[in-house]
Structure 1
Amino acid sequence: MRVRHKPWAKDKIEAHPNWVISDPASMKGSWQKVFPVEQPLHIEVGMGKGQFITGMAKKHPDVNFIGMEFQGSVLVEALDKLLETPLENVRLLHNNAKDLAEYFAEGEVEVIYLNFSDPWPKKRHEKRRLTYSSFLETYKTLLSKEGHIELKTDNQGLFEYSLESFSDHGFIIRNVSLDLHGTGDLSIVKTEYEEKFSNKGQRIYRCEAWPK
Structure 2
Amino acid sequence: MGRNKLARFKANEENRNVVQEGKEIFEHIKGNWRTDQFKNEQPIVVELACGRGEFTVGLAREYPEQNFIGVDIKGARIWKGSTIAIQEGLENVAFLRTQIELLDRFFAEKEISELWITFPDPRPRDGDEKKRLTSPRFLEMYKPMLQKDGWIHFKTDNTALFEYTVELLQSRDDICDLVFTHDFYASEFRDDHHGIKTRYEAMFSAKGEKIKYLKFRFISS
Aligned partner of 1:24 in structure 2 is: 26
Q: Is the CA contact 2:181–2:187 (under 8 Å) kept in the aligned structure 1?
A: no
Q: Distance in 1 between matches of 2:100 and 2:161?
A: 17
Gaps of 5+ in 1: none
Aligned partner of 1:159 in structure 2 is: 162
Shift of 1:172: 2.3
- For 1:31, the aligned partner's letter is W
Residue 197, structure 1, aligned to residue 204, structure 2: yes
Q: Distance in 2 between matches of 1:144 and 1:88?
A: 23
Q: State the secondary structure of the residue aligned to 1:6.
A: helix
Shift of 1:36: 3.8
- For 1:12, the aligned partner's letter is A
Q: Distance in 2 between matches of 1:42 and 1:168?
A: 26
- Name the % identity: 33
Q: Residue by residue, what CA displacement relative to the aligned partner does 1:151-177 show, whole Å, maximum 9, x if unpaired?
A: 000000010111122233422252311
- For 1:107, the aligned partner's letter is K
Residue 107, structure 1, aligned to residue 105, structure 2: no
Q: Distance in 2 between matches of 1:30 and 1:76?
A: 23
- For 1:30, the aligned partner's letter is N
Q: Residue by residue, what CA displacement relative to the aligned partner does 1:71-121 show, whole Å, maximum 9, x if unpaired?
A: 112111212212322211111111111111111111111111000000010
CA RMSD of aligned residues (A): 1.8
Aligned length, in residue pairs: 207
CA 1:123 to 1:91, structure 2 compared with 1: closer, same or farther past 3 Å?
same
Q: Distance in 1 between matches of 2:26 and 2:185?
A: 35
Worse-superposed segment, 186-195 or 148-157 = 186-195
Say which of 129, 151, 155 aligns to 1:148. Answer: 151
Q: Is the CA contact 1:64–1:89 (under 8 Å) kept in the aligned structure 2?
A: yes
Shift of 1:25: 4.1
Q: Distance in 2 between matches of 1:182 and 1:196?
A: 18
Q: Distance in 1 between matches of 2:40 and 2:196?
A: 23
Q: Distance in 2 between matches of 1:193 and 1:173?
A: 28
Gaps of 5+ in 2: none
- For 1:76, the aligned partner's letter is W
Aligned partner of 2:65 in structure 1 is: 62
Q: State the secondary structure of the residue aligned to 2:91.
A: coil
Q: Distance in 2 between matches of 1:27 and 1:76?
A: 20
Aligned partner of 2:175 in structure 1 is: 171
Aligned partner of 1:210 in structure 2 is: 217
For normalisation by structure 2, the TM-score amounts to: 0.87
Aligned partner of 2:11 in structure 1 is: 12
Residue 180, structure 1, aligned to residue 184, structure 2: yes
Q: Distance in 2 between matches of 1:147 and 1:28?
A: 18
